[in-house]
Structure 1
Amino acid sequence: MKRITTCFISFILSIQFLAAQGVKSYSTAQAHSHNDYERARPLEDAYEQQFGSVEADVFLVNDTLFVAHNLKDIRPNRTFTALYLLPILQKTEQNGGRIYTQDNVPLQLLIDLKTEGEPTLAALIKLLEPHKNIFAPTGSVKIVVSGNVPDPSLFEKYPNFIYFDGRPEKVYTPAQMAHVGLVSQAFQQYSKWNGEGPLLEKDKKKIQKMINDVHDMGKKVRIWATPDNINSWKTMMALGVDYLNTDKVRELGDYLRTAPR
């Protein structure tokens, strides 16, 4: 009974906090599954929660793209094709060309290149090209390449279904910005907050300025390595972060379904 009462009070405080901040409505479409491939069911757990973004680290080894956090973690059956591409192709076929059954729910696939950028990206494009119709800008799956990305001056040479993960401190030309699909930065660039209590006002102002600047450019923001608890999720929503970064897929999914709309 005590635990139920505590949860209920936490829920009421969440509603009051978000209402007071004038927070826009969030759903699991604004959730990002960090290092998604480390889950027992890569892609599937986040997909069942209808997350809007998932993340996979890839290594190019002998012309094959493997999904792993480190080179030593590579396993023969854990390829990018097996864990992500084939399931996505299957789901879009089942849903009449859409990744989700709803027309207005896209999926962002953030692919972090861990090996040398140019050959790894070339191998990725070779895999994706035959299926480009399901990828943005025309399809419902948006490919955003992070990690060892090419210099922005080279963005235009890549196919239009390849977007890049930008950084808020970089200056892009309008032509380069057209190829930026997302803008990301580490939380530690702005704060050492551990997610307990309120975020320091000076840190909040730094984060808010970055978010406002990126939004003024018409792009969405992801901040990685944020504290991963309800207090932090509420704070990030109040600041207007577009993708809530989490390693707790089910917990964040449950929370967003009960948070105020």
Structure 2
Amino acid sequence: MTARDAGGFPVTRTPAGVVRSARSTPDLAVLDTRISGCYACPRLVAWREEVARVKRASFREEDYWGRPVPGLGPADARIAVVGLAPAAHGGNRTGRVFTGDRSGDWIFAALWRAGLANQPTSTHLGDGLELTDVRVAAAVRCAPPANAPTPEERDTCSPWLARELELLPRLRVVVVLGGFGWTALWPVLAAAGYALPRPRPVFGHGVEVALEGPRGPLTLLGSYHVSQQNTFTGRLTESMLDAVLSRATELAAPGG
């Protein structure tokens, strides 16, 4: 019988266990539950649970999720958006990726403008948000201290992302938010059988890389992350993000 935690999620406690659990996942719904029961990175587990216990003063009446945060979006998505990791008082609080923080305000508003979301805001579970033709996920599924996962934590978490992308049979474009996600994605794609260029393309906003793999062509698009240090300073503007997502929808369209 599979061990389960207090929330009823099947528990994974080691990097090897992540590999086994991810590889055997039959669909996105099961993947989401398995991700939610992951305890493979002790530092991240301690931090996410500490944040959920102490809470931010403005959210002290709320029950924090305090777990790994699964992806969001339909299995027939042609576009994937890959970020860094959940925010301590965003996804780690709400239980939904990019939901309830300033970064989420930016990405979901942009998805709405691109016709990929039914509303421009994402504040909490049950708020009515629905995505069309896009799946949003993170390279690391737990909120990290100082928003900085270690390379080891990135690698431990990578089988979850690898399997998530494999479970999107119509996937044609991956929009990568930030350099950390860009670096995290290459071994995932290599394991999936994509022929990768050498040397590896350097991350940058608007960088476009065309790949060929076992399921046909896949295009990577780079975008500066929707973090406040980029959006508040003007390094990333709405028009810059809109241009990347417009290119993504163009490439993902049938015959694109």
Q: Return the structure number with greater helix share.
A: 1
In the superposition, the TM-score normalised over structure 2's length comes to 0.30
